């Protein structure tokens, strides 16, 4: 290993950041090579394994994050912290060196420019420094390093993401020189924490806001111990895009941590975050993960309970079924604010019978499943919103129960909608028109369905169907039909078409009784057309379907119809 390059070294080549993971020979190639892991995980050609030989490991899980490079490269030049600070914030030209400014022929008087330049050089009035991707390499023995404290004594927020920090000690040495620092962003740095225990515990407890996105530290072995040992005072933590799939079994998070952003990680279930469930986090952001369920059925993890979480953001995940939101109150008993847009569930909403639902329906069905919710997707839920959502959801459940043909099916519907009981207590149980099927296959006579009749009306080419109570009078039935057709009731005639047949004589021969059925006949249902034509030619009796006129009166529809279905032809009176 050469003195110029070493494992863990941070470099930049043509603006592309990388970490040296290996220095040495490569089989089949001459000379010394650098095995590097690119920050851009799509830039490489392998993951440290080349032609079957593993030369080094990478932090990224990407199969294309690594490459081999020759050490003689036009590496981008690094800067010290103060050099980067002066380059970005301090003007190198004094006011006296500025070219004179003229308005027409009169020279403008530049008042206060020198004073402003001096203030800027001292960073007076500046509290936030953004020095990301400035190729900063910090060492405790850098020239003028002691000047950092006096120049940056008022700095409260510092962003040094995407730089050349290689160890936690380098980060600590820089931050300890900023006495008022409260917010620190280290995104995109790939520093090692192996020297963690060599640094005094609690050295950075003044930091309240910390960002460790895309640092690719291990959650349990590196990140959580780092927080416990050095950043125990943090209240807001952003740790996105770290390729984590599990955040569990790692001990406690800082007791004062209230806001946690774990977006763009690889979680598939909320149970993957069991260590977060045991924390005091109140706002949990999980955008752009692959979360689809509360508990992954393929694993043995138990259902977590996030007792302190009041605000949850699961936008742009993989939630595709309502069961996720049905289980949410049990896992988040204190939830008040929820954001859910961008999940596949809302892109293809359907009712139980396959009818398409609008986006507004999805909004209401989400609210109805979460009784403690106060805002959804940043919109405040009013009392009217809650009433509309609850009653709409209750009606859909009732319709689904009505469609169930057995008691077992109805019980299954109730089980799939755990809010049904509470909604019934609050608003009263809805009317359910379920056709209960008994063991013998018949409809239960005590059910509401047994007191209804399904009537198919026909008027010319117009055909429609209605489900009506058998107790409905013919007066009322005529009124319904006349309203449908826009015709006065007295101008209509209702004819019930039955399935019974009456004999019709086509000649002088007298009726001799019904034809007897014979078991030897090839046709068990009816005589052949040839036989009927022969009988008609001989003047014998034929059969016609019986029709009954339903005359206007108080007589009930059920006295005309025996079964559950009927056909009624609507005619105009002559």
Burial of 151 (0-12, 13-18, 19+ CB in 10 A): buried
pLDDT value of position 477 = 92
**Mean per-residue pLDDT, 471-492:** 90
How far, in Å, CA of 200 to CA of 35, rounded? 33
pLDDT value of position 20 = 97
pLDDT value of position 511 = 47
E strands in 418-564: 452-459, 462-469, 492-505, 541-550
pLDDT value of position 115 = 47
How far, in Å, CA of 400 to CA of 427, rounded? 18
> Tens digit of pLDDT for each residue in 27-85?
989 999 999 999 999 999 999 999 999 999 999 999 999 999 999 999 999 999 999 99
> Tens digit of pLDDT for each residue in 398-446?
989 888 878 888 899 999 999 999 999 999 988 777 555 555 555 555 5
In degrees, to the nearest 5, what angle opens at C-alpha 389 toward C-alphas 383 and 394? Answer: 125
Q: Is the alpha carbon torsion for 555, 556, 557, 559 positive or negative?
A: negative
pLDDT value of position 573 = 85
Q: 502: which DSSP letter?
A: E
pLDDT > 90: percent of the chain:
62
How far, in Å, CA of 419 to CA of 276, rounded? 27
Q: Is the model more confident about 348 or about 215? A: 215
Name the range with the highest mean pLDDT among 193-197, 316-320, 474-478: 316-320
Give one DSSP letter per residue of 82-129, joined into a string.
HHHHHHHHS-SS-GGGSPP-EETTEEPP--SHHHHHHHHHTTTT--EE
For residue 345, give both structure tokens. Answer: 């569930």
pLDDT value of position 325 = 97
Report CA-CA distances (Å) from 66 to 5, 49, 215. 17, 9, 16
How far, in Å, CA of 47 to CA of 41, rounded? 9
Burial of 277 (0-12, 13-18, 19+ CB in 10 A): buried
pLDDT value of position 424 = 93
In degrees, to the nearest 5, what angle opens at C-alpha 451 toward C-alphas 445 and 452? Answer: 130
pLDDT > 70: percent of the chain:
83
pLDDT value of position 238 = 98
**Mean per-residue pLDDT, 450-466:** 88
The pLDDT-based confidence of 546 (bands split at 50, 70, 90) is: confident
pLDDT value of position 259 = 98
> Tens digit of pLDDT for each residue in 153-204?
999 999 999 999 999 999 999 999 999 999 999 999 999 999 988 888 888 8
The pLDDT-based confidence of 502 (bands split at 50, 70, 90) is: confident
How far, in Å, CA of 66 to CA of 531, rounded? 89
For residue 241, give both structure tokens. Answer: 């895009």
pLDDT value of position 402 = 85
For residue 269, give both structure tokens. Answer: 């279930």
> Tens digit of pLDDT for each residue in 70-112?
999 999 999 999 999 999 887 655 445 555 555 556 655 555 5
**Mean per-residue pLDDT, 326-340:** 96
How far, in Å, CA of 306 to CA of 326, rounded? 15
pLDDT value of position 533 = 56
Check: CB of residue 268 under 8 Å from CB of residue 291: yes
Q: 303: which DSSP letter?
A: P
Q: In what order do the strands lie in the sheet with 236-238?
A: 128-130, 157-159, 183-185, 209-211, 236-238, 259-261, 283-285, 311-313, 337-339, 375-376, 379-380
Q: Which domains can be identified in the chain, with CATH numbers?
A: 10-70 (2.30.30.190), 81-92+114-343 (3.80.10.10), 349-434 (no CATH), 448-511+525-572 (3.10.20.90)
Report CA-CA distances (Å) from 384 to 99, 363, 395. 67, 13, 16
> Tens digit of pLDDT for each residue in 241-295?
999 999 876 568 999 999 999 999 999 999 999 889 989 999 999 999 999 999 9
């Amino acid at each position: 290993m050469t003195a110029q390059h070493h494992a863990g070294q941070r470099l930049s080549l043509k603006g592309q950041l990388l970490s040296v993971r290996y220095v040495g020979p490569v089989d089949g190639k001459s000379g010394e090579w650098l095995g590097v892991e690119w920050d851009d995980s799509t830039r490489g050609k392998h993951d440290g394994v080349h032609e079957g030989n593993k030369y080094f490991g990478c932090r990224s899980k990407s199969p294309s994050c690594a490459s081999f490079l020759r050490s003689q490269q036009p590496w981008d030049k690094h800067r010290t912290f103060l050099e980067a600070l002066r380059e970005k914030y301090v003007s190198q030209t004094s006011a006296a060196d500025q070219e004179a400014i003229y308005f027409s022929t009169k020279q403008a008087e530049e008042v206060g420019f020198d004073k402003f330049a001096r203030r800027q050089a001292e960073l007076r009035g500046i509290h936030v420094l953004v020095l990301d991707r400035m190729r900063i390499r910090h060492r405790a023995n850098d020239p003028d390093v002691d000047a950092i404290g006096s120049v940056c004594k008022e700095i409260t927020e510092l962003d040094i993401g995407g730089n050349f920090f290689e160890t936690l000690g380098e980060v600590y040495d820089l931050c300890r020189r900023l006495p008022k620092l409260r917010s620190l962003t280290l995104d995109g740095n790939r520093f090692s924490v192996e020297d963690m225990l060599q640094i005094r515990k609690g050295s950075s407890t003044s930091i309240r806001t910390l960002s460790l996105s895309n640092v690719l530290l291990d959650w349990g072995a590196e990140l959580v111990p780092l927080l416990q040992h050095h950043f125990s005072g943090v209240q807001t933590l952003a740790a996105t895009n770290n390729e984590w799939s599990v955040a569990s079994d790692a001990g406690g998070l800082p007791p004062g941590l209230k806001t946690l952003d774990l977006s763009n990680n690889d979680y598939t279930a909320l149970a993957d975050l069991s260590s977060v469930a045991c924390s005091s986090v109140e706002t949990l952001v999980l955008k752009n993960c692959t979360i689809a369920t509360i508990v992954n059925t393929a694993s043995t993890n138990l259902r977590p309970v996030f007792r302190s979480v009041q605000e949850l953001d699961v936008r742009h995940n993989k939630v595709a079924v309502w069961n996720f939101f049905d289980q949410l109150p049990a896992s988040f008993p204190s939830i008040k604010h929820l954001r859910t847009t961008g999940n596949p569930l809302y892109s293809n909403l359907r009712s139980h019978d396959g009818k398409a639902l609008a986006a507004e329906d999805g909004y209401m069905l989400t609210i109805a499943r979460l009784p403690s919710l106060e805002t959804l997707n940043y919109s405040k839920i009013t009392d009217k919103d809650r009433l509309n959502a609850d009653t709409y959801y209750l009606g859909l459940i009732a319709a689904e129960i009505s469609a169930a043909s057995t008691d077992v099916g109805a019980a299954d519907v109730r089980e799939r909608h755990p809010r049904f009981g509470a909604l019934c207590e609050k608003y009263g149980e809805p009317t359910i028109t379920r056709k209960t099927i008994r063991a013998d296959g018949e409809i239960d006579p005590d059910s509401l369905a047994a007191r209804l009749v399904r009537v198919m009306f026909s008027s010319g080419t117009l055909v429609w169907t209605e489900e009506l109570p058998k107790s409905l009078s013919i007066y009322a039935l005529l009124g319904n039909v006349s309203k449908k057709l826009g015709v006065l009731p007295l101008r209509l005639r209702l004819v019930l078409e039955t399935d019974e047949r009456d004999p019709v004589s086509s000649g002088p021969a007298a009726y001799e009784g019904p034809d007897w059925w014979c078991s030897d006949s090839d046709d068990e249902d009816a005589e052949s057309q040839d036989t009927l034509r022969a009988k008609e030619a001989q003047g014998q009796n034929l059969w016609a379907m019986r029709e009954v006129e339903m005359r206007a009166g108080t007589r009930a529809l059920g006295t005309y119809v025996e079964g559950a279905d009927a056909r009624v032809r609507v005619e105009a009176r002559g």
